[in-house]
Structure 1
Amino acid sequence: MQAIVQCVQTSWTKLSRGGPEAARRNAAPTAFPLPSRRPPFVHEVRMDEQGDFQPRFDIRDEERPDSPVKLTAADGLLRVRVEVTPYGMPRRWRRPPARRIGPGEWLRWQVNYRFVGCCSGEWNYRLDTLNIGYGVEGAEVFLGTPTHIVDERAELF
């Protein structure tokens, strides 16, 4: 399977919910150039408020078992399904169906969450942007316009 998955995870607290701090958070990219590797691989990027939204990179040969991205190749297409964490709010009772992408196509799937700290009760937020390509080439492929978009971002209050 010639799949490339780029997981971009951005997290923040209420300090970055408004004003200049929110502008910094919103300026965080949702895609990055890919490393020079042959597929399949997973390119993980994490950014957080504490680290001034500076990206930290990790590369894996395959998805971790706990990954939210579930891929299946069949009939020349790649079936992409994203599972949401059961711990985040808001609850998503109705979800978009899995998407199929063909060779040379890529999908951007975005989902956001609000979490409540178990001891402090403080709210934390996260945006997951999943860029998934099937048979795509080029380091900057995810910097362009996606072939398919699934937007599960919700009002987080």
Structure 2
Amino acid sequence: MIHAWKISAIMVIIYKISAADVAKTPVTSSPVPLPSFLATKTNFTFREGDLARLECSVDNLSTKKVIWRRKSDPNPLTIGRRTFVEDTRVLVEHAPLQREWNLLIKHVRIDDAGMYECQVSSRHKRLRWLVRLNVIRKFRLTSI
């Protein structure tokens, strides 16, 4: 017959051995790779009134967010899939689990032309991908 005090003593010994083994086990965690931009075009030209698609492709995004903004404006146009401007022409094109985070501008106008920035913010550093949007006037026929 086993007495309760013997069971308690055995459990304490097992606990001490287990705790000592855990303390000796080296902690090896593989570092999470930082996000990086994949090479895409950096110069886009569209006709006035067309749908403009500015490309941005990010590898190793993990839980971070992609932010689109005009280079000349500190305020974001989009963060993740959400749009932060009242301009309904502006939205993000992104399919789940894909690397592409393209900025779409419907019915692009001449004043939309300029530098845009696709960025990923992280604690390590701010990552940026700059693209230029050129908008050319639509040719209009006039009657004589």
Which structure is richer in relative contact order (CA contacts within 8 A, separation 6 or more)?
1
**TM-score, scaled relative to structure 1:** 0.29
Relative to its length, the structure with more helix (as a share) is 2
Answer with 1 or 2: which has the greater Rg. Answer: 2
Q: TM-score normalized by structure 2?
A: 0.31
Give the structure with the higher percent strand: 1
